[in-house]
Chain A
Amino acid sequence: SQTIHQWPATLVQPVGSPLSLECTVEGTSNPNLYWYRQAAGRGLQLLFYSVGIGQISSEVPQNLSASRPQDRQFILSSKKLLLSDSGFYLCAWKGIRVNEKLFFGSGTQLSVL
């Protein structure tokens, strides 16, 4: 069966520090991968998605970046965190067909202080 791993679960970082969040998927190949962010009490904002190794599409211009170095690995990064980067970050994957379900990781709660 397929599983998605996302870590860490919580993270407290000072303003200006770098960020690296990692997400890996097991049990499937060539998944579509997604990074979402959720501010407190708000809906999910799509940040990046990827349909293959090295292929990254950005939906929101900001100081975050994403990379997909391997088929089932998706990394969210920042060189210098801002206060506004605080939020709940969620990684997700789905198969390539339109009607396939999205599966979400357990999320990372990031607090930038």
Chain B
Amino acid sequence: DAKTTQPNSMESNEEEPVHLPCNHSTISGTDYIHWYRQLPSQGPEYVIHGLTSNVNNRMASLAIAEDRKSSTLILHRATLRDAAVYYCINQTGANNLFFGTGTRLTVIP
């Protein structure tokens, strides 16, 4: 399985940008980088994904390193509703999809 490494926890002040890092040094050329987040007592929800180029959507931006061994999820203005556990995973051609322990983001009012 393609493993990812994330910090256990991060804090951000409300209304400030947040950069959540992820290392995926064993990523293969055709693996996609997906980010999900999990609010308390809920199932995870999709945030964003990419392959090589940086991506933007209404929720966040994804910056992918040129060598693809790391990526950063960017929340441009953190709100209290963004407090969650954020998971970065490599989606490979294999059907088993493994999640790590993710990064618990705390947003400080």
By a beta-carbon cutoff of 8 Å, the part of chain A in contact with chain B is 32, 34, 36, 42-44, 46, 49, 51, 57, 59, 88, 90, 92, 94, 98-99, 101-107, 109
Q: Does B5 contact A (CB under 8 A)?
A: no
Chain A residues near B93: list those with CB within 8 A. Answer: 98
The contact of B43 among A43, A49, A94, A104, by CB within 8 Å, is A104
Chain B residues near A105: list those with CB within 8 A. Answer: 43
How far is B98's CA from A67's CA once the two chains are assembled, in angstroms?
Answer: 20
Total A-B contacts with CB atoms under 8 angstroms apart? 57
Q: Indicate if the CB atoms of B96 and A57 lie closer than 8 Å.
A: yes
Q: Indicate if the CB atoms of B46 and A98 lie closer than 8 Å.
A: no
Q: Indicate if the CB atoms of A57 and B42 lie closer than 8 Å.
A: no
Interface of A is mostly: strand
Q: Indicate if the CB atoms of A102 and B95 lie closer than 8 Å.
A: no
Q: Indicate if the CB atoms of B101 and A99 lie closer than 8 Å.
A: no
How far is B102's CA from A108's CA once the two chains are assembled, in angstroms?
Answer: 20
Q: Indicate if the CB atoms of A46 and B34 lie closer than 8 Å.
A: no
Within 31-53 of B, Cβ neighbours of A (below 8 Å) are at: 31-32, 34, 36, 41-46, 49, 51
Chain A residues near B31: list those with CB within 8 A. Answer: 98
Q: Does B97 contact A (CB under 8 A)?
A: yes
Q: Indicate if the CB atoms of B95 and A32 lie closer than 8 Å.
A: yes
How far is B52's CA from A99's CA once the two chains are assembled, in angstroms?
Answer: 12
Chain A residues near B41: list those with CB within 8 A. Answer: 88, 107, 109
The digit string for B84-109, where 1 denotes a CB below 8 A from any CB of A, is: 00010001110111111110000000
Contacts A98-B32, A99-B32, A103-B46 known; list 14 others, CB within 8 Å.
A42-B101, A44-B44, A46-B97, A90-B43, A92-B43, A94-B97, A98-B30, A99-B91, A102-B44, A102-B97, A104-B43, A106-B42, A107-B41, A107-B42
Q: Indicate if the CB atoms of A43 and B32 lie closer than 8 Å.
A: no
